[in-house]
C-alpha cells in the first residue's frame, strides 16, 4: 500500500462544468461600472457588444457569422436552433453520450418530427460519420461529448456543398479544439466550460445559411418569446449586437470579458488549444503506464482534450461486477474531495462509472501532474475496501 502523496495540486478544481477559473483570477479584477445598470444602458450594451467582439476575435469566427448572447446556457442556445430551424429537411441526429441523447429527445419526442434518422454509438465510440448524409439533410451533433470524452476528429465528413444545416453543440470544444466554421452553420457553447466563466448564459453563432433558414422558414409550432429570432421575416439583428432577449447578469458578462482578455494575453486560440493538449497529455501519459485505469475513448484520435473520461480496468475490481466498479470510482472521487486534492471528478451521472478530469486551458499541467499520484493512492484505498 503506497503512502499518501506529499505534493498537492495548488488548484484542485477539475470539474467539467462549471470549470476552473483562469489562472490568476480574482473577483477584484472584474470591472464593475456596468453592475447595477440596465443592460440596455449605453454602458450595458457596450459591454455586451465587447463580449461578442472578443468572442469573434479569440474564437476566430468569420466576419459574416452572427454571434448572440442568449438565455439558458448551452442548452438554451441549442434548443433555440432546434425549435426555430428544423423541419424543412430530413434530420440526422448523432448521439454518443447523454447530451446528444437529450437533443434526440427534443427532436423526436417534443418537436415530433417525422423524418428523423438517429445514429447512436456507445460511450467511448463515435457513430459512422461517413454514413451521415450531410449533403441533403440537416445534421445535429456535439463536437465534443462532454460526458463520454469523445470528439469528432475534424469536419472532413461534412459536405462543403451541403444543402442542409449543421447544428453543432460545441460547449466543451470551443476555445480548446479547432472548429471548422466553414462546415458549421450553428455553433453553441456556454461560458462556464473552456474559459471557466459563470453559468446561466449561452452563445449562439449563426452562419449566413442559418440566417437564411430563419428568415425563410416558419415552424408549424408556437415559439416561446426567448426562442424568437426574427420579426416580420427578418432577423432581429439587435440580438447579435448585445441587445439580449432577456435580462443578462452583467456580473457574468464582466467575468466572461475577463476570461476572453486573459485568453488574448496568452496567445489566443492557438495557445488555448496547445495548453489543453498539453494538459490532456499529462493524464494520457499517466494512463498509458497505469494498469488499473483506461481512457473511455476507444480511439486515441477521437479522445477529448478537455473532458477526459476514464474507466476502471483493474481485473480484480472488474471481476467483482459493475457495483464494485461504481463503488471504487465513487470512492476515489469522494476521498480526493475530502482531502481537498480534486473536486468534482466523478463521471457524469448517466455515463459509465468512472472518473472525469477537465483538462482545458484554465487548468495547469503542474496541478494535473500532482494529481496523478493521488489517483493511484485513492484507488488503492478504495480497492482495499472490497476485500
Q: Cα separations (Å) of 348 from 146, 176, 297?
A: 9, 20, 15
DSSP for 220-238, written as a single string = SS---GGG--EETTEE-GG
pTM of the model: 0.97
Interval 310-331 mean pLDDT: 97
- Is residue 121 pLDDT above 80, yes or no? yes
Cell numbers placing 297 = 475513448
The hierarchical CATH code for the domain 27-264 is: 3.40.640.10
pLDDT of residue 40: 87
Strand partners, 195: none
Asked if the domains at 27-264 and 269-384 fall in one CATH topology, the answer is no
pLDDT of residue 387: 79
What is the domain class of 269-384 according to CATH? alpha beta
Q: Is the peptide bond before 15 cis (omega within 30 degrees of 0)?
A: no
Q: With pLDDT > 90 as the criterion, what percentage of the chain qualifies?
A: 98
pLDDT digits (tens, 9 = 90+) for 136-190: 999 999 999 999 999 999 999 999 999 999 999 999 999 999 999 999 999 999 9
The span from the CA of 299 to the CA of 128, in Å, is 13
pLDDT of residue 358: 98
- Is residue 210 pLDDT above 90, yes or no? yes
pLDDT digits (tens, 9 = 90+) for 327-381: 999 999 999 999 999 999 999 999 999 999 999 999 999 999 999 999 999 999 9
Q: State the pLDDT confidence band at 1, using cuts at 50, 70 and 90.
A: confident
Which residue reads 469566427 in cell numbers? 61
- Is residue 17 pLDDT above 90, yes or no? yes
Domain locations in the chain as residue ranges: 27-264, 269-384
* Residue 335 burial class via C-beta count within 10 angstroms: exposed 0-12, middle 13-18, buried 19 and up: middle
- Give φ, ψ of 11 to 5 degrees: -125, 105
The residue count for the chain: 387
pLDDT of residue 172: 97
Interval 21-37 mean pLDDT: 96
The span from the CA of 386 to the CA of 254, in Å, is 48
Which of 148, 296, 316 has its CA nearest to residue 324? 316
pLDDT digits (tens, 9 = 90+) for 53-89: 999 999 999 999 999 999 999 999 999 999 999 999 9
pLDDT of residue 115: 96
- Is residue 2 pLDDT above 90, yes or no? no
Q: State the pLDDT confidence band at 238, using cuts at 50, 70 and 90.
A: very high
Q: Are 20 and 14 in contact (CB under 8 A)?
A: yes
- Cα R_g (the chain), whole angstroms: 21
Q: With pLDDT > 70 as the criterion, what percentage of the chain qualifies?
A: 100
Q: Cα separations (Å) of 324 from 64, 259, 292, 330, 350?
A: 53, 41, 14, 10, 17
Amino acid at each position: 500500500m503506497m503512502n499518501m502523496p506529499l505534493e498537492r495540486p495548488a488548484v484542485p478544481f477539475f470539474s467539467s462544468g462549471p470549470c476552473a477559473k483562469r489562472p490568476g483570477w480574482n473577483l477584484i479584477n472584474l470591472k464593475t461600472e456596468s453592475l447595477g445598470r440596465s443592460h440596455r444602458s449605453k454602458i450595458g450594451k457596450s459591454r455586451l457588444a465587447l463580449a461578442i467582439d472578443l468572442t469573434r476575435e479569440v474564437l476566430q469566427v468569420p466576419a459574416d457569422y452572427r454571434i448572440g448572447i442568449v438565455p439558458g446556457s448551452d442548452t438554451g442556445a441549442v434548443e433555440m436552433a432546434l425549435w426555430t430551424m428544423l423541419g424543412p429537411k430530413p434530420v440526422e441526429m448523432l448521439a454518443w453520450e447523454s447530451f446528444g441523447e437529450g437533443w434526440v429527445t427534443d427532436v423526436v419526442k417534443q418537436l415530433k418530427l417525422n423524418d428523423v434518422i438517429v445514429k447512436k454509438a456507445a460511450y467511448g465510440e463515435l457513430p459512422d460519420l461517413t454514413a451521415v448524409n450531410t449533403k441533403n439533410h440537416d445534421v445535429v451533433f456535439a463536437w465534443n461529448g462532454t460526458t463520454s470524452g469523445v470528439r469528432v476528429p475534424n469536419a472532413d465528413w461534412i459536405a462543403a456543398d451541403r444543402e442542409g444545416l449543421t447544428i453543432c453543440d460545441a460547449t466543451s470544444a470551443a476555445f480548446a479544439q479547432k472548429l471548422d466554421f466553414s462546415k458549421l452553420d450553428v455553433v453553441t457553447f456556454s461560458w462556464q466550460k473552456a474559459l471557466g466563466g459563470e453559468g446561466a448564459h449561452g452563445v449562439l453563432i449563426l452562419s449566413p445559411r442559418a440566417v437564411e433558414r430563419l428568415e425563410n422558414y416558419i415552424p408549424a409550432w408556437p415559439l416561446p418569446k426567448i426562442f424568437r429570432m426574427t420579426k416580420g421575416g427578418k432577423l432581429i439583428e439587435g440580438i447579435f449586437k448585445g441587445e439580449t432577449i432577456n435580462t443578462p447578469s452583467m456580473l457574468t458578462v464582466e467575468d466572461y470579458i475577463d476570461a476572453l482578455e486573459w485568453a488574448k494575453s496568452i496567445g489566443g486560440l492557438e495557445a488555448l488549444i496547445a495548453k489543453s493538449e498539453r494538459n490532456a497529455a499529462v493524464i494520457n501519459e499517466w494512463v498509458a503506464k497505469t494498469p488499473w485505469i483506461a481512457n473511455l475513448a476507444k480511439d486515441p484520435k477521437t479522445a477529448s482534450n478537455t473532458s477526459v473520461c476514464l474507466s476502471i480496468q483493474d481485473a480484480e475490481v472488474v471481476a467483482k461486477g459493475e457495483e464494485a466498479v461504481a463503488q471504487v470510482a465513487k470512492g476515489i472521487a469522494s476521498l480526493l474531495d475530502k482531502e481537498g486534492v480534486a473536486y468534482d471528478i466523478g463521471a457524469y451521472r448517466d455515463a459509465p462509472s468512472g472518473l472525469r478530469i477537465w483538462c482545458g486551458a484554465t487548468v495547469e499541467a503542474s496541478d494535473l501532474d500532482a494529481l496523478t499520484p493521488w489517483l493511484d493512492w485513492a484507488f488503492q484505498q478504495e480497492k482495499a475496501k472490497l476485500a
